[in-house]
Structure 1
Amino acid sequence: MVRLYEHQETALNLLRINDGFGLFMEQGTGKSFPVLFRLAELAESGRIGSALIVAPKAVCDSWRQKEAQLSDGQRSALASIGLRVESYDVVWRREEIAGATFDAVVLDESHYVKSPSAKRTHACMALCARASYRYILTGTPTSNGQLCNIWSQLACVDPVVVKGRVYPACLGGDSYYKWLGRVAYLNQWHRPYRYRNVDEIQSVIAEHSYRITKAECLELPDKLPDQVLDVDLDPKAAKPYRDMMRSSAIVELDTLAGNSLTRSLRLRQLASGFIDTDSGGRVEYPCRKLTVLRELLEDFEGKVVIFCDFRHSIDAVSALLARLHMGHVVLDGRQADKGVWKRFQEDAAVRAIVCQYQSGSAGIDLYAADTIVFYEPSLSSNLTEQARDRIHRIGQHRPCSYYWLITRGTIERAIYGALRSYADFGEALFTKYMTEYTKGGSV
């Protein structure tokens, strides 16, 4: 039977006195169990006859696993209402769910509905507007200080319906753009770059949510400083890399980058030993990251988590692990079984898990390992920090180590620099990187 920590008891009590509420608890502090306890209480008392939990696809199985850890009485109560767990994509695409009414709706990783114009956001807001109890969970409600991300999440917590549209009552019932015009300064692309009335916004958020960090509530072991392992770019990849930098084209491959996004993507691919061409083919180069990774793992004891951004890299790493006779599983969205990570947690013979950031950075426990290797960096600081926390969470008793394989003299160094400052590597930073490269600066 699950026993709650003190901070989880606090979260549960807040859910008991608020029909709509957000648990903005840092990754690894245990948001799921207070919600399951609350749903079981509501079901047992007859206050709800149905409930829906919406979560990222890779996380859905984690909810079912946690439900199985509850007491017999709690499981029986939840079974009596037919608790459903569905992914965000399924919810907005299937009308029988999107158009249904559930007495309680839970949005896990609620930053998935931060975009007010997204179809899944509209579907989730409508579901919440029809529900009597509405709970949202995320460790990053306003990543990178973007307070605008909170509007649609609060619309799910405290909805008001005006002429068929859902708005957050606690933000004055304003439409998104009316509210944005009131609280933010917009740039030429009509995006907020600075906020006013910040104290007022934060006061509203605090009133409707519970925020706590691991440092405040858990005696977890330390996160050790990053260990960056510099990797040389193979000479065969160096020329196409320079060509892509200088002219956005690789003539011998008949490949052209028509915009900065594609150019950045191609440079990142080359830093990891391959490039996808305009004809739909793929050219591979020797990748010294695999050599460094092999050397790291050959004398490694215990379990390890490896994060990659590209599926090509995942396949290359998986092949290396097979050559090393190192039992492993892969989680990258191609698996029918999204709970493969449980094998990594429970099976001593499975010593490694290779994850794509989008699939493995949220909602799963990987504390069987105390080491993460970032084979290549993500562009998102949010995904990166969530990935770090897969091993640094309740259940971990050892200091956590983080290794980065960064290809020297490439865009990866600039990306890692941005991530260290908790910033996304977007178009502005890419332009800065290109300018420094052109000037001959070290990047």
Structure 2
Amino acid sequence: MKLFPHQDDVLNQTYEHNRVAYYLDMGLGKTFVGSEKMWELNTPYNILICQKSKIDDWKEHFEEHYDYTVIVFDKQKIEMVPPESIIIINYDKVWRRDEINKLRNFTMMLDESSMIKNEKSKRSKMILKLPAENIILLSGTPTGGKYEELYSQLRLLGWDISYKTFIRSYVVREWDEMKAEWNITGYKHVDRLKRKLRTYGAVFMKTEEVFDLPDQTDIYVKVKATKLYNTFRRDFIIETPELTLIGDTPSKAKLYLRQLAGQYNQNKLDKLRDMMASTNDRLIIFYNFKEEYKRIKQIADELEKPVATISGDLKDLTAYNNYENSITLVQYQAGAMGHNLQKANKIVYFSLTDKSILFDQSKKRTHRIGQEKTCFYYYMMTHGSIEWRMLESLRTQTDYTDELFREEEMRE
């Protein structure tokens, strides 16, 4: 396999390490670097843990470039797995398959290793106790700007440090008397932390250090709010023949405000129709909820636009690959990470995610190696809505949590 010079350099930097982390920006080819490292380590068995939506991509990659036996693992007996194999399993199933604990003599690779940021989750506990000889971690955003979320990953790299010591050394906290808990307010000694991680086989690399990618341009598409939105914003309750929404908790109130600014806002749907009708270029549209998908797809069908889909239920990129005027609908959780969509240079955010890591990664679906055009990001923003606060939060790499929403509501 022919690698780019920067990929060769990464492998050379970690040649003597059997536990490595390739924190390469999206688009720098972590897939190729990770699979080449796996081949170099040359263990009889290999496990790749990835998101469900990436299983087919990884299977195709290994079958095209290597001679491994590729097994998408479900309920097989480990004793039946032949040597020179790669077992692919998704994060949601790995903790349900105790059979994997029987495997020995293997290399374990985690695609998007930020998925184990919570060391107390069932998936993280299972992965941390697997007896892997070698570890390969892949992520473009290993922390999403939250360095405390590195702890599970550095344990896999072999750094024997307690959680309390790690937090005390690198995290700035303040005690909240009202809640009787610590709040993280910042970080310290970050350069020292990165130097330490490099001694444990971690490589950090940004796209701008390697390639000159095209410019990025943000465009705000302002949308009029509806009477329903303003009523709910005032009373936190709506009762109509078609719709009943009661925001009796911060979680419900936040959810319904997002939906009223999006899928229940006919002004936004009409504006989106105009945008879709005004171009024959490929459009990538990010959305959150199934009802959003249903309504956006209906518009695309009425305009006779070919539709591609990446969601938790379906991945079909036929229209995206074959038609320049296609509409590709991407659900954040299923498609913001890992997919190559650089045939398009226009992303429309019909609604915003509340997860900063998904927001950051979504932009890189088009702004990556192979993109030759300026990348445009269209933010469909309902006037005076929760969406503006969400965008401000996401741009500071902060999740827009229920707690943050509650605090802002109390201030107002």
Deviation for aligned residue 1:232: 0.8
| Shift in Å, 1:312 | 0.9
Aligned counterparts of 1:77 and 1:273: Cα–Cα separation in 2? 45
Alignment of 1:274-423 (within 5 A): 274=264, 287-335=266-314, 338=315, 340-341=316-317, 343-348=318-323, 351-423=326-398
Tell me whether 22-31 or 346-355 shows the greater mean CA deviation: 346-355
SS of the residue corresponding to residue 21 of structure 1 reads strand
State the AA in 2 paired with 1:30.
G
**1:238 CA displacement:** 3.4
**Does the 8 Å contact 1:187/1:193 carry over to 2?**
no
Shift of 1:375: 0.3
Equivalent pairs counted in the alignment come to 392
Query: Are the aligned partners of 1:20 and 1:134 in contact in 2 as well (CA < 8 Å)?
Result: yes
Q: Deviations over 1:40-67 (max 9, x none)?
A: 3343xxxx10001111111222212322
**Structure 1 residue 294, shift from structure 2 partner:** 1.2
Do residues 227 (structure 1) and 226 (structure 2) align? no
Q: Does the 8 Å contact 2:54/2:338 carry over to 1?
A: yes
* Worse-matched range after superposition: 78-87 or 104-113: 78-87
Name the counterpart of 1:193: 185
TM-score relative to the length of structure 1: 0.82
Q: Which amino acid aligns with 1:272?
A: G
Q: Does 1:76 align with 2:67?
A: yes
The whole-number CA distance in structure 1 between the counterparts of 2:273 and 2:101 is 47
Q: Which residue of 1 aligns with 2:33?
A: 34
Per-residue displacement from partner, 1:85-114 (whole Å, max 9, x unpaired)? Answer: 211111111111255335100011000001
Matches within 5 A, 1:82-101: 82-101=85-104
- 2:212 and 2:319 mapped to 1: Cα distance? 24
- The question of whether the paired residues in 2 share the 8 Å contact of 1:62 and 1:363 is answered with no
Are the counterparts in 2 of residues 110 and 136 from structure 1 also a CA contact under 8 Å? yes
In the superposition, the TM-score normalised over structure 2's length comes to: 0.88
Larger CA deviation: 400-409 vs 414-423: 414-423
Unaligned residue ranges in structure 2 (runs of 5+): 71-82
Distance 1:78 1:392, change over 3 A: farther
- Structure 1 residue 379 displacement after superposition: 1.1
Distance 1:385 1:183 in 2: 23
Q: Please list the CA deviations of residues 216-251 of structure 1 after superposition, one character each: whole Å capped at 9, or x if unmatched.
A: 111221222x1010011233443234321xxxx336
CA distance in structure 2 between the partners assigned to 1:110 and 1:405 by the alignment: 31
Kept after mapping to 2: 8 A contact 1:381/1:423:
yes
Q: How much has 1:177 moved relative to structure 2?
A: 3.9
The 1:31–1:78 alpha-carbon spacing in structure 2 relative to 1, beyond 3 Å, is farther
* Cα distance in 1 between the residues matched to 2:403 and 2:328: 33
Native 8 Å contact 1:113 1:153 kept in 2: yes
Equivalent pair of 2:50/2:112 in contact (CA under 8 Å): yes
Cα separation, 1, equivalents of 2:225 and 2:63: 48
Q: Distance in 2 between matches of 1:195 and 1:41?
A: 36
Residue 258, structure 1, aligned to residue 248, structure 2: yes
Tell me the secondary structure at the aligned position of residue 83 of structure 1. Answer: strand
**Could you tell me which residue of structure 1 aligns to residue 18 of structure 2?**
19
The residue aligned with 1:139 is 140
Q: SS state of the match for residue 15, structure 2?
A: helix
Secondary structure of the residue aligned to 2:126 is: helix
Distance 2:409 2:392 in 1: 15
Could you list the per-position Cα deviations for residues 266-321 of structure 1 after superposition, in whole angstroms to 9, with x for gaps in the alignment? 111111143xxxxxxxxxxx521111111111121221110001111111111111
Please give the secondary structure, in 2, of the residue aligned with 1:346: helix
Q: Of 50, 54, 68, which aligns to 1:55?
A: 50
**1:239 corresponds to which of 217, 227, 231:** 231
Aligned residue for 2:377, secondary structure, equals: strand
* TM superposition shift of 1:352: 1.7
Report the CA distance shift for 1:428/1:408 in structure 2 as closer, same or farther (over 3 A): same
Q: What is the Cα deviation at residue 13 of structure 1? A: 2.0
Distance 1:404 1:98 in 2: 46
Amino acid at match of 1:413: W
Structure-2 separation of matches of 1:400 and 1:69: 30
**Residues 100 and 89 of structure 1: CA distance in aligned 2, closer, same or farther (over 3 Å):** farther
With 8-17 and 115-124 compared, the bigger mean Cα shift is at 8-17
Q: Give the AA of the match of 1:331.
A: I
Distance 1:317 1:58 in 2: 21
Deviations 1:176-217 (A, max 9, x none): 245435554353424533445545423222323111111111
215-224 vs 19-28, which deviates more?
215-224
Question: Is the deviation greater in 228-237 or in 19-28?
Answer: 228-237
Match of 2:210 in 1: 217
Question: 1:92·1:124 contact (CA, 8 Å) conserved in 2?
Answer: yes
Distance 1:16 1:85 in 2: 24
